[in-house]
Amino acid sequence: MTEPSETKKQTTNAPNDGSENRARKIAIVALVAVVAVATIALLMWLFIPRGSGGRPVPAPRSIGPDQTANSNSSGESTLTINPEQAQ
């Protein structure tokens, strides 16, 4: 009994199709794993504090002779002009 040639091609290609599907699945799983690891590493790099950033700095204990108690601490400077200088 002889089989048609198409049937023989299907039976000989069947192992290759399975290995292609398996290789494709392995590649997809590996790609997803790499993307997941990269995403976790990026999030850790962004959100985990590192180094000495954000340490509290103590306030000065005394005011020097050049500083006044009523100085503007907001960074804005005030210029006072006498009426004679304004003219």
Q: What percent of the chain lies above the pLDDT cut of 90?
A: 28
Max CA-CA distance within the chain?
Answer: 123
Helix or strand (DSSP H, E) at 65: none
The model's pLDDT over 29-48, given as tens digits with 9 standing for 90+, comes to: 999 999 999 999 999 999 88
Which amino acid, 26?
A: I
The CA-based angle 84-85-87, given to 5 degrees, is: 75
Q: What is the pLDDT of residue 78?
A: 79
pTM tops 0.75, yes or no: no
Q: What is the pLDDT of residue 2?
A: 60
Cβ-based burial of 52 (10 A; exposed 0-12, middle 13-18, buried ≥19): exposed
pLDDT tens per residue across span 58-68: 887 777 666 66
